[in-house]
Amino acid sequence: MPLRLLRTVNRIHCAALAAFALAGFGPVAAQAAYPDKPIRVIVPFPAGGGGDILARTVLTKVGEQQGWSIVIDNRPGAGGNIGVEAGSRSEPDGYTLTYGTNGTHAINQTLYAKPGFDAVKDFEPISRFSQIGLIAAVNPAVPANSMKELIAYLKANPGKVNYATASNGTTSHLAGVLFKGVTGTDFVIVPYRGGGPAMTDLLSGQVQMMIEVMPSALPQVQGGKLRGLAVTTDKRWPLAKDVATMGEAGVSDFVITAWDGLFAPKGTPKEIVATLNAAVRKALDDPQTQEALLKRGAQALPSSPEEFRTFIASEVGRWGKIVKDSGAKVE
């Protein structure tokens, strides 16, 4: 074969191979490269708060294990709705994710007339992070060393005890409403702009009691600044085994847990969701991560995307009923 013709054949052959590679293997190569730039995670709560700390605990481990760059974008406001709505409208390419909780993805769906997003339809669930217990705590000035004594005190002093909540419609608020109904007690529910200010006033004695998520309240109980009377989980909390459950303390039908997890916008490719799910599960399987979460009042509880989706749908209904029964509403 003449040299000129041989070169022409080689060029055609190479061009054909390149076209074949682009057509047949291009998408695979693109998927294998994910992520090839920083991943932004919207956390719809203030920096330094309980939700922010839990999110960073898990996501920092994900970044370390995978060698990924993960950037936290705190966007608080409207009970978390501002940040979550922004996340729902993000490009579904796996580079903008959203951290959510039972507050943002269950309670707010009923509490707010227009939350700005649909927790089930607007997201691809990636994985649940944890189960978060609550603890009933009082300022040490309250003359009650047990739940039985607290209930007796509340009944003897109707309307005279102030109960702090992180805000209207939050888990702490709804827990207080349920506690009233179950125990037949009467106290004043005082809403704050966040769990931080509420905890500050509880510690100072401006308010006297609160049923709050453990990441915020447990360190204060362990430090002796508050008196923990009962946890709302079905079993005693591993790092607070001296504190009875509500059931053990005589308050039946009072099991409440919060939760958190990671979401991608609707339409995010299944391959990317699967990659992220595997990374989160690996981080949550790490003993150091589990210990760090426990110290902050949360138990690692990863899930598959399908399990998380089913769970969220059930939680929207469960918390929706509690919100309606409480009468809480935000226009």
* pLDDT band, residue 32 (cuts 50/70/90): low
Range scoring the smallest mean pLDDT among 7-11, 85-89, 219-223, 227-231: 7-11
Q: Which residue has the higher pLDDT, 267 or 296?
A: 267
pLDDT of residue 216: 86
Give percent of the chain with pLDDT exceeding 70: 90
pLDDT of residue 328: 78
The structural domains of the chain, ordered by start, are 33-132+259-326 (3.40.190.150), 133-231 (3.40.190.10)
Q: Give the chain as a 3 state SS string.
A: CCHHHHHHHHHHHHHHHHHHHHHHHHHHHHHHHCCCCCEEEEECCCCCCHHHHHHHHHHHHHHHHHCCCEEEEECCCHHHHHHHHHHHCCCCCCCEEEEEEHHHHHHHHHHECCCCCCCCCCEEEEEEEEEEEEEEEECCCCCCCCHHHHHHHHHHCCCCCEEEECCCCCHHHHHHHHHHHHHCCCCEEEECCCHHHHHHHHHHCCCCEEEEEHHHHHHHHHCCCCEEEEECCCCCCCCCCCCCECCCCCCCCCCCEEEEEEEEECCCCHHHHHHHHHHHHHHHHCHHHHHHHHHCCEEECCCCHHHHHHHHHHHHHHHHHHHHHHCCCEC
